[in-house]
Amino acid sequence: MEYFILFSPLLGALIAGFFGNKIGDKASEIITSLFTTVSALLSIIVFYNVLSEGYENNLILFKWIYSGTLEVNWSIKIDALSSIMLVVVTFVSSLVHIYSIGYMSHDPNKPRFMCYLSLFTFSMLALVTADNFIQLFFGWEGVGLCSYLLIGFWFKKETANNAAIKAFLVNRVGDFGLALGIFLIFYYFGTVNFDAVFQQIQQIDTTSIIFLGFNFNAVDLICLLLFIGAMGKSAQIFLHTWLPDAMEGPTPVSALIHAATMVTAGIFLVVRCSPIYEYSELVLSIITIIGMTTAIFAASVALVQDDIKKIIAYSTCSQLGYMFFAAGVGAYNVAMFHLFTHAFFKALLFLGSGSVIHSFKNEQNINNMGGVWKNLPVTYAFMIIGTLALTGFPFLSGFYSKDAIIEFAYLRGNTVGYYAAGIGIFTALLTSIYSWRLIFKTFHGAYQNKDLKIEEMHESPISMLVPLFILSIGAIGAGFLFKEIFIGYESSNIFWGNSIMFLEPLSTDHPPSWFIILTPILVVISIPFSYLIFIKNKDFLKNLVLINQPLYKFLKNKWYFDEMYNLLFVRSFKYIGKFFWKQIDGSIIDKFGPDGISNFIKYLSNKAIKFQNGFVYQYAFVMLIGFSILLTLLIVK
């Protein structure tokens, strides 16, 4: 069964990729969707076995790398952590495949697109079922490659190509950190297998290492380098700039990247390596700070974005920040709980936005929408459900997981924990405001589109709406159904077993009542407040923007990260490259090298030509000089 889970998407990708033109578009779509759906159904069975029987297994497929002390197998590791990721990845991917049949109906390259989706799914499955860092790195690079192919799928668009290259390059920075971390692990432990590394971690707890001229604790450095890799994949602040631009790909790609696959890999890595991180309080504090900073950064930027997909993209960035600061305070199970619930409502929001874009004939600016909730009632209902879940509205999935993160941060009892809890509450308020801004400007108010008559608006096809319906069920009930299993004080330890090491409740106490109800109250109050400022009284918002113009520009330009990186890296390296090209390569190497030699030969040739004038006495004179030179050389020797 585990073999089918892993290799069904790969088989679908191979069929669609190599034989798609022969079997046709429809067959490619059906085959890839069917194989991914089979993988999803089998993953649910595996998850049920883990849940009910504590099932664990490690299937060795073959010996992969055996060199000296390095022994690496290709395996399928099944435990509580990997079973959750299997369900999240395959379930969302199967719905995205089905959704793509309708969304990509007018695209001429459907087999290629379906091939990329299935290959992306396989790469993520290889990552989460790894029992060693090398196989994990293979899947890690696989999802990076597939993201490049999918983001740049419409390669005739310059913006899509630029976005794909940007995602690839930014992730290389993080991947370099991950690779260094893996090298250090092998250097200290002599193995890259998870279990063997985790068992030996205590032996190097006090070991020091000099890195870049600084003295580090070896465990701290390993954890920091692994986290840099996680920052790149999960788009944490400083390595986040690729994520909004990734919206240049088709909407199903956005849903798959943001909800189930690539961006969740960083969270998975940190949680899988929790036995290592438990020995590094320093890096856990860094993770908490980076997570909370990312959460508030992305939420503040989302407030002023106008592209419907970019708003949801920054929302993903913000929610990942929540997951990281949950892991940073030691609540690894809560981080995974939020990852699980987030997959449902974030995929719902992305696919719902795709339905809106489809109905508006590829329009993505929410300022050019409005007043269509009666024309798109089904899409509107699903978007409302996704928004309520995202904002943490009481008793929906996001309410249980997001509030649990804030509460566990508070129960940490230290300065970083209190700070993270405060940031989490404020970010929840911002999340609610920008989420309802999207809803109200998209579906309410006056109709703003000048290129499309409102009478022409229609619902998306059934192949796009069925996945929305299924995801909406998860967005409503996943939190309530799995809260006790994932984060309950007693049952969670039974469920997680050894897949999350050192899993201990932060406290058996509860936060004060006022703290527990504060976030839900702010979330509920923000709904009428958002309707007031975005629909009823727009002048208030305009005046607010005018008064705070510098702040508005700061947020509109995404805290000027792109401009800063352009100045520090792009322009500076371009200048350095131009200097070496013109001054070093051109003026020195070429001038005195190949160009200089060729010019010198040409000069001698031009002089020699003058002796070739047809007069016999000049030929005789040249021969005499040559003979004299030759004779002189022979005598000297």
CA distances from 336 to 81, 327, 362 (A): 8, 9, 34
Helix/strand/coil for 62:
strand
87-117 confidence digits (pLDDT tens):
999 999 999 999 999 999 888 899 999 999 9
Average confidence score pLDDT of the chain: 89
Give the Cα-Cα-Cα angle 97, 108, 20 (nearest 5 degrees): 65
| Region for residue 62 given its phi and psi (left: phi exceeds 0; alpha: psi -120 to 50; beta: otherwise) | beta
Sign of CA dihedral 291, 297, 302, 307: negative
506: pLDDT confidence band, cut at 50, 70 and 90?
low
49: pLDDT confidence band, cut at 50, 70 and 90?
very high
CA distances from 289 to 241, 327, 424 (A): 18, 11, 12
pLDDT of residue 502: 52
Sign of CA dihedral 381, 387, 393, 398: positive
Mean pLDDT to the nearest integer, 276-281: 91
Mean pLDDT to the nearest integer, 212-225: 89
Mean pLDDT to the nearest integer, 317-335: 93
289: pLDDT confidence band, cut at 50, 70 and 90?
very high
Which tokens in the block code for residue 530?
């958002």
Share of the chain above pLDDT 90, in %: 59
pLDDT of residue 504: 55
pLDDT of residue 10: 95
Question: CA-CA distance, 6 to 85, in Å (whole number)?
Answer: 12
Helix/strand/coil for 307:
strand
Mean pLDDT to the nearest integer, 459-464: 89
Place of tokens 């390993």: 222
Residue 72 bridge partners (DSSP): 65
The DSSP output letter for 459 is P
128-154 confidence digits (pLDDT tens):
999 999 999 999 999 999 999 999 998
> Other C-beta atoms within 10 Å of 471: how many?
32
Mean pLDDT to the nearest integer, 436-460: 88
pLDDT of residue 450: 84
Is the per-residue pLDDT at 503 higher than 60? Answer: no
Pairing of strands 57-67, 70-78: antiparallel
pLDDT of residue 531: 92
Sign of CA dihedral 361, 365, 371, 375: positive
Question: CA-CA distance, 567 to 633, in Å (whole number)?
Answer: 62
Q: What are phi and psi of 186, to 5 degrees?
A: -65, -35
Question: CA-CA distance, 441 to 235, in Å (whole number)?
Answer: 27
Is the per-residue pLDDT at 618 higher than 80? Answer: no
258: pLDDT confidence band, cut at 50, 70 and 90?
confident
185-189, 330-334, 497-501: which range is least confident on average? 497-501
Helix/strand/coil for 108:
coil
509-563 confidence digits (pLDDT tens):
678 888 889 999 999 999 999 999 898 887 777 887 777 888 999 999 999 999 9
Mean pLDDT to the nearest integer, 246-266: 88
pLDDT of residue 220: 92
Is the per-residue pLDDT at 497 higher than 50? Answer: yes
